Amino acid sequence: MQEKITENKNIILYSINISGIVQGVGFRPFIYKLAKENNLNGSITNTTEGVIIKVSVKNKKELSVFIDKIKKFKPSPSLIEKIEYRKIPQENFQDFAIEKSIETDEKFQLISPDLATCQICIEDINNKEDRRRYYYPFTNCTNCGPRFTIIKKMPYDRQYTTMLKFEMCPDCKKEYENPFDRRFHAQPNACKICGPVLSIIDNTGKTVDFQNPILTAARLLKNGFIIGIKSLGGFQIACDATNDDAILKLRKRKNRPQKPFAVMFKDMETLNKYLAVSILEQASLTSSSAPIVLLKKIKFMSLSKHVSYYNKYEGAMLPYTPLHHLLFNNIDFPLVMTSGNISEEPIASENKEALFELQNICDYFLTHNRDIYSKYDDSVIKIFNDNEMILRRARGYAPYPMKLGPNIGNKVILAVGAQEKNTFCILKKNYAIISQHIGDMDSAETLDFFKITLDNYKKLFNIDKIDLILYDKHPDYAATKFAKHHFRNSKKIEVQHHKAHIAGVIAENRLLEESENQENDRILGFAWDGTGYGDDGKVWGSEIFIVQKILSKKELNFERIGHIKEKYMPGGEITIKKPYRMAVSYLYNYFTNQANNSKKDFFNYIFSQFPFYKKIIEPEEIDIIIKQIQTGFNSPITTSMGRFFDSVSSILNLTHIVSYEGEAAIHLEMICQENIKDEYQVEIEDFVIDDYFIFNQIISDLKNNVAAPIVSAKFHNTLARAVLNISAKAKKTLAQI
């Protein structure tokens, strides 16, 4: 029977709406405790928008004090975007309560990423007196553990997660219902008695160990075996990072001859023995996001040279699940920890899927029966200019959105992304909701992952209708084809690849938001990469734009003013995989501009001046490349900066055939000698950079036996100089940049 409400004129009831990351982070238990400590009655409930707090106070000052304490003492994983409050009719609250979640229309709730294991939970799993959680690999609380990867729908309650099938034992239930326990309303709460179970199977699917799977896995790793480990968002592949044979075996099985592997270290003390770590880098490593951080190598202790070869950096991370921590309790070496997938396909997340796809890579699997609803790779960052630069956005970051400025409008917009390293983005209200890393869209499996993830985001963020679809101009991109065919009746706009790069930087840094009334404000943008379908149908890749905001149309106007010189890309797509082909093109241009040289002389020239090409390329292929350059047959015109980098990398005998995207350019950067200030001369005419002129100076240096690291340094310095010169020229000739 409902109690009769008796109005107390000395009490005012307020409704407080809080949006942000306020679910799955211990926010309701925090508010409950705060209200009890301050003798306030009322309630809190999850909604599909955030949380609603009803609180009875004596006056507005008491309300302000309560809100100030919420802001000051909120749980560390939470993030408050907005707090709104209003008076509401009185209700007869005799206490403070956490009420059942409610769903609201046309709203969406910001969702917490998965969080690295907190220090208190680490203490629990190492506490022999804790009979339920000692050595339990699925220990978590409101401050840590799985979130996004187990959520099927909002609001964030256990019944809507993959934990539904694990009924809590009486002790876990007691913790869950105790407002003063840190597992109060922790949705993934579990223990040895009632929670997920770990096991080891071999690559035929046969169970090896149920009793001590962690100890067995540690023993196998010590003996050089490769183990698939089911983590938060999918399987990782692990082996001893100091064992040459194990890593070479992994490279062969995974068909990954050169691409660096990430490494997981037991703790900061261990990591400091191998890599140089700044204060900011350590802060990222030890944060609740716990990403892979690119760190400089040092020579005190070395991992196997096969982990990352010539790279000056190592992708490093710390354990972020109880399973990782317990594994490192039993080994004394770092672990290669790479994505559990076949190269260029999505990470495997289901047990059967992993066994089927990875059985030829992994010797054993350390797995469990907690289902993963959303695949989730490890995030990768680098500290640049004292800020995190996200290179791969996934675990610990997605799906938390980027908040944009006002005046975005009410349309829901979907941008489906490009072909390589795809992510998609949904614009709703003034939030850019960016997906986790999807991957390269070359396989049917990745496209399926894209579709499933998009459907999941639409459900989680309460999106019934998309008003506008944006897609890359390249007609052969998988995401472009999907957008055209899947959204037949929706309004669609094609976007040029490099303009999208510049627009993304403008939005992320809010470069045009400060000057709402200055329509003449302009930005000079450089978009240098490998490939992008140009407005003229050519292969762009070194584009320079003037960008102007058109207030009347609420859009950006792009004027392409410059690039490197146009040239044929002999053979088209194959040249991306084989940098030596583009090098031959540059060398042929250099050679034929010298007096009295013939094609026959070119063969002699290339093999005498660059003898390593004898093992790389046959004379017949050189002949084909020359004909393609002369006729343009099967050879699109390009202004690609990426192909320029490839050519320089090849003539320095670094990379001739790439095994992963950007390999040639990365190798060129990694050999770059530090503290070199020399540069080559730059010729720029009408904002067009003469890259042939730069290349020819490199040839002269090589004739004079200038070392490759110095050539690389001068090359990079020269391109930086080109940017500065063009910027200065644009400043003079184009007003208000």
Question: Would 415 be classed as within a structural domain?
Answer: yes
Residue 553 pLDDT level (bands cut at 50, 70, 90): low
Q: Which amino acid is at 493?
A: I
pLDDT of 6 strictly over 60: no
Residue-wise pLDDT tens digits, 147-172: 999 999 988 899 999 999 999 999 99
Residue 2 pLDDT level (bands cut at 50, 70, 90): very low
pLDDT of 648 strictly over 80: yes
Question: Would 504 be classed as within a structural domain?
Answer: no
CA distance 466 to 412: 5
User: Looking at the structure, do residues 147 and 296 belong to the same domain, yes or no?
Assistant: yes
Residue 693 pLDDT level (bands cut at 50, 70, 90): very high
User: Looking at the structure, do residues 288 and 176 belong to the same domain, yes or no?
Assistant: yes
- pLDDT score for 358: 98
| Largest interatomic CA distance in the chain | 105
- pLDDT score for 584: 97
Question: Would 561 be classed as within a structural domain?
Answer: no
User: Looking at the structure, do residues 91 and 125 belong to the same domain, yes or no?
Assistant: no
pLDDT of 56 strictly over 50: yes
Q: Which domain holds residue 472?
A: 401-495
User: Looking at the structure, do residues 232 and 363 belong to the same domain, yes or no?
Assistant: yes
User: Looking at the structure, do residues 341 and 365 belong to the same domain, yes or no?
Assistant: yes
Question: Would 286 be classed as within a structural domain?
Answer: yes
Q: 402-403 and 413-415: which strand pairing?
A: unpaired
pLDDT of 726 strictly over 60: yes
- pLDDT score for 184: 87
88, 54 contact by CB (below 8 A):
yes
* Exposed/middle/buried for residue 21 (C-beta within 10 Å: 0-12, 13-18, 19+): buried
For the domain that residue 640 is a member of, what is the CATH number? 1.10.357.160
User: Looking at the structure, do residues 364 and 317 belong to the same domain, yes or no?
Assistant: yes
Candidates 449, 304, 486, 312; CA nearest to 375 is: 449
Residue 731 pLDDT level (bands cut at 50, 70, 90): confident
- pLDDT score for 154: 86
- pLDDT score for 67: 96
Residue-wise pLDDT tens digits, 531-545: 999 999 999 999 999
User: Looking at the structure, do residues 58 and 167 belong to the same domain, yes or no?
Assistant: no
In DSSP terms, which residues pair with 292 in a beta bridge?
A: 380
- pLDDT score for 297: 92
3-state secondary structure 448-503: HHHHHHHHHHHHHCCCCCCCEEEEECCCCCHHHHHHHHHCCCCEEEEECHHHHHHH
Question: Would 520 be classed as within a structural domain?
Answer: no
Number of helices (H) and strands (E), helices first, in the chain?
A: 21, 30
Tokens of 496: 């040029």
pLDDT of 299 strictly over 90: no
Mean pLDDT across the chain, nearest whole number? 93
Residue-wise pLDDT tens digits, 500-530: 999 999 988 888 775 555 556 789 999 999 9
Query: Which residue has 């301050």 as its token pair?
Result: 38
Residue 5 pLDDT level (bands cut at 50, 70, 90): very low
* Exposed/middle/buried for residue 227 (C-beta within 10 Å: 0-12, 13-18, 19+): buried
Question: Would 303 be classed as within a structural domain?
Answer: yes
User: Looking at the structure, do residues 321 and 438 belong to the same domain, yes or no?
Assistant: no
Tokens of 397: 């970051």
Last residue of a domain, one of 398, 414, 441: 398
pLDDT of 248 strictly over 50: yes
The structural domain count of the chain equals 4
User: Looking at the structure, do residues 276 and 336 belong to the same domain, yes or no?
Assistant: yes
User: Looking at the structure, do residues 90 and 157 belong to the same domain, yes or no?
Assistant: no
For the domain that residue 242 is a member of, what is the CATH number? 3.90.870.30
Question: Would 531 be classed as within a structural domain?
Answer: no
**Mean pLDDT along residues 416-435:** 94
For the domain that residue 67 is a member of, what is the CATH number? 3.30.70.100
Residue 344 pLDDT level (bands cut at 50, 70, 90): confident
Residue 722 pLDDT level (bands cut at 50, 70, 90): very high
Question: Would 501 be classed as within a structural domain?
Answer: no
Cβ burial 155-177 (10 Å sphere, 16+ → b, else e): bbbbebbbbeebebbeebeebbe
98, 87 contact by CB (below 8 A):
no
pLDDT of 70 strictly over 80: yes
What does each C-alpha distance from 374 to 347, 449, 610 come to in angstroms? Answer: 10, 10, 50
What does each C-alpha distance from 74 to 26, 41, 215 come to in angstroms? Answer: 9, 19, 38
Last residue of a domain, one of 398, 431, 451: 398
User: Looking at the structure, do residues 638 and 574 belong to the same domain, yes or no?
Assistant: yes
697, 679 contact by CB (below 8 A):
no
Last residue of a domain, one of 351, 372, 398: 398
pLDDT of 736 strictly over 60: no
- pLDDT score for 101: 79
User: Looking at the structure, do residues 337 and 412 belong to the same domain, yes or no?
Assistant: no
**Highest mean pLDDT: which range of 8-12, 86-90, 125-129:** 125-129
